[in-house]
Amino acid sequence: MEKQEQRQRLLENLIYLIIWVVIWISPVLEHKYNGETINWNDIFRAWKIIAPFFILFIINNYVLIPLLLIRKKSWLYLLFTAFTVCLIFALNPFMKLKRPDNPDKWPPREFRMERPPMNERIHQFPDRKEPPRQPEHPPMWRMPGMISPMVNHILIAILVLGLNVAIKFLFKSIRDEHRMKELEKHTLQTELEYLKHQINPHFFMNTLNNIHALIDLDTEKAKETVLELSKMMRYVLYDAALPTLPLEKEIRFLNNYVGLMKLRYTDQVDIRISLPEEVPNIQIPPLLFISFLENAFKHGISYQQKSFIRLYMEIKENELECLVVNSSFNNAGEQHKGIGLENVKKRLALIYQDNYTLAIDDSDPAVYTVKLIIPIMPC
């Protein structure tokens, strides 16, 4: 993020540099364009007029805007800006142009409005009397009085300040937007990690309960269960820490978990799984399906009645479909409230937004079905 902001600040300063380079060399380009010999006295005079606006820009861009305007001290910014403008113009002697007292300093005659000779006017209008002749003055745009040049200077100063503020806030909005995206991304990753870490103790607690039950029933199977659990712990603690994993590893993990459950329940429960034998090289977020399977074993098994659990997984074009079906004994409400299931719902919403399908069907009191369809992420 810091490198991105540095590039944006560099681009902003580059824009300022280009604008001011064009402004500074414009008097030279004007002479070249008109085919005139460069008169450095005129160019220096033009640069003296440009200099106060450049100083105003420097103060505004690097002092007033960062310290006042960006910190939402608008009134102080306006006050100090007005004071700076007045101070710069007051201290610059070249801004204090007065009306020339000597008519010889007026503009050349070609810029004045010439009147025809008296005899020609009398000949054209014989019955018209000549009004009293008024003293000639140079055109207003050529004669820098006390009002017109000052208004021009103020308008140019407002233009410089306005353009500076517009560019500054444009890049500030870009940086703020980038920071918001980075913050949202960081928040998303933090929440995903939190939800994932909630699943881990939930999974271990259920597995340890299974081992505890096996110790009383069959010590040898309990030992096998501990070995299987060590493999699964390695996956949950290390592999699952990554944002995505190959589907092949997730399928292997599910197979190990189902094998662990079969050691406990033996023939009491009809457990059937159908997972892809040839797994393409695709990525999925880890631990998405284990919560559905855990809930099936936790809530879908009865020691008094026949129970079953089904796990189907199929790859269809650009989608991965997982179906978990288990027997239900009027406890569908408990399956809906599981911690693992709620965490998976939140993770799915954060990762895929609306680009996934999670359908839970408990319309049949004896069957509980969970169907998840997610898009495939190629490696």
Q: What is the pLDDT of residue 203?
A: 64
Provide the CATH number for the domain around residue 239: 3.30.565.10
**Domain count within the chain:** 2
Q: In this structure, are 170 and 216 located in the same domain?
A: no
Q: In this structure, are 238 and 266 located in the same domain?
A: yes
Q: What is the pLDDT of residue 258?
A: 87
Each residue's pLDDT, cut to its tens digit, for the chain (379 residues) gives: 567 778 888 999 999 999 999 999 888 888 777 777 778 888 888 888 888 899 999 999 999 998 888 888 889 989 988 888 888 777 766 555 444 444 454 445 444 455 555 555 445 555 555 555 545 444 433 444 444 677 778 888 889 999 999 999 998 888 888 877 776 766 666 665 655 555 556 566 766 776 777 677 777 777 777 777 777 777 777 777 778 889 999 998 898 888 877 776 767 789 999 998 888 888 888 888 888 888 888 888 887 888 999 999 999 888 999 999 999 876 655 555 566 677 788 888 878 888 899 999 988 888 999 999 999 866 5
- Whether the CA torsion 298, 303, 305, 309 is positive or negative: it is positive
Q: In this structure, are 247 and 103 located in the same domain?
A: no
How far, in Å, CA of 181 to CA of 200, rounded? 29
Q: What is the pLDDT of residue 232?
A: 76
- Supply the DSSP string of 196-229, one letter for each residue: HHHHHHHHHHHHHHHHHHHHHH-HHHHHHHHHHH
Q: pTM higher than 0.85 for the full model?
A: no
Q: In this structure, are 161 and 218 located in the same domain?
A: no
Domain that holds residue 57: 2-130+139-179
- The set of residues, in sequence order, having a beta carbon less than 8 Å from that of 350 and lying 6+ positions away, is 188, 191, 192
Q: In this structure, are 163 and 223 located in the same domain?
A: no
Q: In this structure, are 291 and 188 located in the same domain?
A: yes
Largest CA distance in the chain: 137
